[in-house]
Structure 1
């Protein structure tokens, strides 16, 4: 049998047509439906038409969402044109059967999806797109949002039955249907969500030990870590999970998972959590991977239905959801962007199109970053974190690191980026910082001498120059009294030096506010309470200074115990009343949780006396700035000759004027400038060019 050639089923217009696969049924007379050879035919159909009224798209198809797995194609599917499946009058169709090589993962999926007596029409990226034709691939990737939105159903194939998955799928269907019948979906609105907890507070799994272990295996399936599944999962109204021969609608799974999370909350408060094995299992399942997927789907479905105030997710929001504190894989680094274009509601506005002909991934990422900043999202810079790595994957699954240099201001969108210390839920939370004040908008600066696409010009204000940084960055915020003793000590030393400076950085209130900076800065001036929720600015909670003192006293308590013999240490600890204070939340636990927000940052002091937290690699001489339209400050560094040369085609000269070129260092908190104070000093406004 010859190898299939895509020239036999060409796409006349790759920008408007797609190939579909008609998967033939297994021989109904066969005793083994599953093992029968795979057979199909390929044909083309329009997916975009200029006149839907006169030329409607009538071909119905299902789209498959799955994991390719190893790229090695060890299986095959026969493409047949012989009777009874032949099309005698069709032009340019070969008369001899041929075969398409497919991966093991796709082979298993097709054997489970295949119907015993009826054909199934499918769109499958591995077969429907000529993967070796980069021009066609670019057009088809651009169409993927349309493809999945047009499918009559999306089949999310997560693999064969294994590790109790049949029980999990059954439990998902039953509990999800119970939640739907109980009307729980009507509570997923801001004004009614608080009523949901009392309704299901007494729901518990029937057989928690068994179901938790099976759920753990289910959530660990590779499909949940794949990038392309996000848009595949979100765009079709009828989307189902397929595992083995079990099928469950994704909405039922969503409801079941949310019930599970409520149950886990109840279980964590119960006696079972004192059993180590049980506690481990509960925590493993609590960290399940579907939250971001369901969030993206719900927001997109509401947007497509035209519901009031349903804005959908922009590309920047999707990048943040999927690459910050998460690991979402993609075999080619550029696909970290391309895999989301069909889902992002601002793709046309950004003007980003898939390009598989350009070999430089850095050029692609830079163009995307510039487009996002130009639409007003200067907070994209919060995720420009080092050390940057452009990662691609070889066919054997190993990592191939790219040596391309990214401009200092461009995020690499690698998995596991740190969340910004100024994380808020934009759909529900109000902003608490506005460092550029008022309704300031991002100003993208241009200069005829700054023509390089690697340079980003932004209007903004200089706050001050960093005079001193703490010896250590706060890279580990797990409890260790010795570590926290060092952290508090670093902050106190800088605070004492700040008090010696006479510049009135807080105006008439400088003396009092300098005192307060000691407890404001370590938590980024935001305080969170388990009882009251996020309260915004720490200064609005009178007792935060007390909580800071309690946290400091707790650290000193354990430091003192360290100096004692074991018997004396235990006696002194028992006599201190620590257990009671801890049970009452009087050991600064919540203040310490607030400090966790600043993980990866380093305390600094500026020349005028501002106290703040900056990037881990901040150093003396760096400049703290606020960009127009920015909520928080950032730290810049005067560009080196090498960086200038990279931006200016080899010329190590600041062609824009002395001191105008900077490298980007990272985000910052700077006490006393978070409410637009610096904007009043008009003389500080200038253009910054980042290389």
Structure 2
């Protein structure tokens, strides 16, 4: 093996000290009869020289994309590891169902199902089914899959080999195997194996890499979406690498960037092109600089999509509320209101971000973001109704409790319609509230399907959804019995996960405007539509000790104090999405000013 290491170019060949794990890897990866050239970051980049590291980290995407082969070393093989090689050998004889431009493959489902079994009963009775499932789970729990830097290596390199001891597997086979096996597990009778696969540390990263290898080849990856998935599933010792370890996405691709069809590629590259690694900068600066760069580059507030409430932890970074903390994984919710990576359907503000200079090119205070827009209303009340994970509840009814929620909504609306809550309202506004339909409540729980991959109107009518929900039995029906109803319920299980960690809130007692927001929403929070943001935003007025009005500073200063808000997160408001209220409610009005802090 020919060594290359950091140092002065005039330095000749010699010996260097390496870690024990690297020594084991090099012994396994070398060829017996000929030299092999390997780039090893630990050796080839001087980790102690920040200036060199800043330069080399920015070049890693080019290095991976031009490599003959990227080698993933998982460590010495475990017991029964040969089973993985035997599965590869056997499945390689079968035709591949589909293969995308990125080289990823979806394996023959029928052949794989015969190997892995389709029920818990087969796992209990057949030793080889049990062994294959066990070795796949062991493989998916290898720590390599959780490291931030592995993403670029796996996604951008044209050819990737996975080496586990002496077993060599193409990475495209590995990702295809994981995704196909997961599809089989979802159909298992009691979903026991499905839960075990989802619980492995490597499943989510590998599934993401499976899809992103193809998307990267097509120049379709969104840099911020990649950071979101990395935040959920990958870890970095240096938290700056939650940004720097992903700068290669959509870069170094053999495409004509001047062609009109590649306009999306040209735009998506701009954020990465403006980020220069700087390991001397604080983590707070790196995250805030990225957020501001994304806003000024895209001329949108799409960055707010990645603001998700988390549990407070000691030593957390101090960041403005509009800056995502890419290191914080202690989520309070199951998923965002609008899942990153999914095209927008419910764009509340089609005109926003076009024409008007809604954000200045230069911002004097990097901790404050001046924005403009309109107030939709204030949160009147937050309903004390929690949603459980649909996949881990015995039935949909136990997870959603739709009728309990409907009763709670009407009780609360009737309470708010009492005279003591309606002082100052007209007689028309004091009328008794019309009951909110179950269809409206269900659409709100599902955020009207706005976050689903299909990105179309919900593929079923609300009547079909409610019928399938109401007809659910305590046990899953056998194959062939109520197949259509179970298909709809499976869609509901997937889609209703959006409500986990969320709360339904009421905006006004005289309308049917109910919304879905994060569980930290409070009565009095503002619901606003901001220029450049495709969904309503929950804002909370920020009051500081120094903001106490002492009569000094003038009217402009006092108004700015009143306009300072913290971002709580995006929300869904039934009946107010897809630009429904813009022309009728705010046409011709002067936009309000909001300062996000």
Q: Which category describes the TM-score, using the shorter chain as reference length? A: 0.7 to 0.9
Q: Which residue of 2 aligns with 1:285?
A: 197
Q: Which residue of 2 aligns with 1:314?
A: 222
Q: Which residue of 1 aligns with 2:518?
A: 615
Q: Does 1:492 align with 2:410?
A: yes
- Counterparts of 1:174-213 in structure 2, within 5 Å, are 174-175=90-91, 177-179=92-94, 182-186=95-99, 188=100, 203-205=114-116, 207-213=128-134
Note the alpha carbon deviations across 1:95-119, whole angstroms, 9 max, x for none: 9x5533x323212111111233433
Of 209, 214, 222 in structure 1, the residue corresponding to residue 143 of structure 2 is 222
Q: Which residue of 2 aligns with 1:231?
A: 152
Q: Which residue of 1 aligns with 2:40?
A: 124
Residue 513 of structure 1 deviates from its aligned partner by 7.1
Return closer, same or farther for 1:504/1:208 CA change in 2, 3 Å cut-off: farther
Residue 129 of structure 1 deviates from its aligned partner by 0.9
Distance 1:503 1:202 in 2: 66
- Counterparts of 1:342-361 in structure 2, within 5 Å, are 342-345=248-251, 346-350=268-272, 351-358=274-281, 360-361=282-283
Q: Which residue of 2 aligns with 1:365?
A: 287
Distance 2:522 2:150 in 1: 41
Distance 1:184 1:523 in 2: 32
Residue 123 of structure 1 deviates from its aligned partner by 1.2
Give yes or no for contact 2:564–2:594 (8 Å, CA) kept in 1: yes
Distance 1:643 1:675 in 2: 39
Of 467, 470, 480 in structure 1, the residue corresponding to residue 383 of structure 2 is 470
Distance 1:640 1:539 in 2: 45
Give yes or no for contact 1:444–1:457 (8 Å, CA) kept in 2: no
Residue 281 of structure 1 deviates from its aligned partner by 4.2
Residue 223 of structure 1 deviates from its aligned partner by 0.7
Q: Which residue of 2 aligns with 1:294?
A: 210
Distance 1:153 1:448 in 2: 43
Distance 2:474 2:315 in 1: 53
Structure number with greater CO (CA < 8 Å, separation at least 6) is 2
Return closer, same or farther for 1:221/1:424 CA change in 2, 3 Å cut-off: closer
Larger Rg: 1
Q: Which residue of 2 aligns with 1:149?
A: 65
Residue 219 of structure 1 deviates from its aligned partner by 0.9
Return closer, same or farther for 1:516/1:238 CA change in 2, 3 Å cut-off: closer
Give yes or no for contact 2:379–2:506 (8 Å, CA) kept in 1: yes
Return closer, same or farther for 1:541/1:448 CA change in 2, 3 Å cut-off: closer
Q: Does 1:435 align with 2:338?
A: no
Give yes or no for contact 1:334–1:361 (8 Å, CA) kept in 2: yes
Greater strand share, 1 or 2?
1
Give yes or no for contact 2:538–2:568 (8 Å, CA) kept in 1: yes
Paired residue secondary structure (1:353): coil
- Counterparts of 1:304-453 in structure 2, within 5 Å, are 310-323=218-231, 326-345=232-251, 346-350=268-272, 351-358=274-281, 360-374=282-296, 375-376=298-299, 378-387=301-310, 402-413=315-326, 414-415=328-329, 417=331, 418-423=334-339, 426=342, 431-437=344-350, 441=354, 445-446=358-359, 451-453=364-366
Distance 2:233 2:562 in 1: 38
Paired residue secondary structure (1:597): helix
Return closer, same or farther for 1:603/1:643 CA change in 2, 3 Å cut-off: farther
Residue 295 of structure 1 deviates from its aligned partner by 1.4
Q: Which residue of 1 aligns with 2:500?
A: 599
Q: Does 1:637 align with 2:560?
A: no
Distance 2:110 2:547 in 1: 61
Distance 1:631 1:260 in 2: 36
Return closer, same or farther for 1:340/1:437 CA change in 2, 3 Å cut-off: same
Paired residue secondary structure (1:293): helix
Distance 1:281 1:213 in 2: 10
Residue 200 of structure 1 deviates from its aligned partner by 6.2
Distance 1:164 1:644 in 2: 66
Give yes or no for contact 2:6–2:46 (8 Å, CA) kept in 1: no
Distance 1:658 1:523 in 2: 36
The Cα RMSD (Å) is 4.3
Paired residue secondary structure (2:562): coil
Residue 280 of structure 1 deviates from its aligned partner by 3.8
Distance 1:232 1:615 in 2: 35
Q: Which residue of 2 aligns with 1:99?
A: 16
Distance 2:489 2:58 in 1: 49
Give yes or no for contact 2:310–2:329 (8 Å, CA) kept in 1: no
Distance 1:660 1:519 in 2: 34
Q: Which residue of 2 aligns with 1:57?
A: none
Residue 134 of structure 1 deviates from its aligned partner by 0.9
Distance 1:124 1:505 in 2: 73
Residue 164 of structure 1 deviates from its aligned partner by 1.8
Give yes or no for contact 2:275–2:290 (8 Å, CA) kept in 1: yes
Q: Which residue of 1 aligns with 2:124?
A: none
Of 127, 143, 164 in structure 1, the residue corresponding to residue 80 of structure 2 is 164
Q: Which residue of 2 aligns with 1:140?
A: 56
Normalization by structure 2: what TM-score?
A: 0.76
Number of matched residues?
529
Q: Does 1:688 align with 2:594?
A: yes
Give yes or no for contact 1:378–1:442 (8 Å, CA) kept in 2: no
Paired residue secondary structure (1:121): coil
Task: Give the unaligned 5+ runs of structure 1.
Answer: 1-22, 25-39, 45-89, 274-278, 303-309, 391-400, 555-576, 646-652
- Counterparts of 1:482-521 in structure 2, within 5 Å, are 484=401, 487-496=405-414, 517-521=440-444
Return closer, same or farther for 1:633/1:118 CA change in 2, 3 Å cut-off: same
Distance 1:320 1:459 in 2: 26
Residue 684 of structure 1 deviates from its aligned partner by 6.5
Of 634, 655, 670 in structure 1, the residue corresponding to residue 573 of structure 2 is 670
Return closer, same or farther for 1:542/1:684 CA change in 2, 3 Å cut-off: farther
Distance 1:589 1:162 in 2: 39
Residue 473 of structure 1 deviates from its aligned partner by 5.0
Return closer, same or farther for 1:420/1:120 CA change in 2, 3 Å cut-off: same
Return closer, same or farther for 1:320/1:123 CA change in 2, 3 Å cut-off: same
